């Protein structure tokens, strides 16, 4: 797939990344290089790996990048749960992102399975 921007998995991942930046913008300043940085890096990794994988000539390579993207969703989910437990950010907005992440995970797993058929 050459036009990754048309993929729903990329679009959803992009949206998650933007929302993650908005969520962490209100975190305490002492967390800017802590959990906030971890959250935004994991979130950016989701659509970035989908995009990079789409440039690969083999489905095996593409699949590898999709799996990395999937791993980033689980990493981000964990970091958001930790930030909620620590009382950082808006809980409702965080829950919205967590819901988006679950949807993204399902879509990525489905896409990976489709490639592996």
Ordered by start, the domain boundaries in the chain are: 4-115
pLDDT at 2 exceeding the cut of 90: no
Domain 4-115 -> CATH class: mainly alpha
pTM of the model: 0.94
Residue 22 CB partners (closer than 8 Å, separation 6+)? 93
Q: What is the pLDDT of residues 52-95, one digit of tens each?
A: 999 988 888 999 999 999 999 999 999 999 999 999 999 999 99
CA distances from 31 to 38, 51, 82 (A): 10, 29, 12
């Amino acid at each position: 797939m050459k036009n990754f921007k048309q993929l729903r998995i990329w679009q959803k991942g992009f949206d998650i990344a933007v929302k993650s930046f908005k969520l962490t913008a209100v975190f305490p300043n002492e967390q800017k290089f802590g959990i906030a940085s971890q959250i935004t890096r994991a979130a950016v990794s989701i659509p970035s790996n989908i995009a990079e994988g789409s440039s690969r000539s083999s489905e095996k390579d593409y699949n590898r990048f999709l799996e990395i993207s999937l791993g980033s969703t689980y990493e981000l989910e964990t970091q958001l749960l930790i930030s909620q437990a620590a009382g950082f950010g808006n809980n409702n907005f965080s829950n919205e992102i967590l819901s988006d992440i679950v949807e993204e995970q399902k879509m990525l797993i489905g896409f990976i399975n489709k490639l592996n058929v």
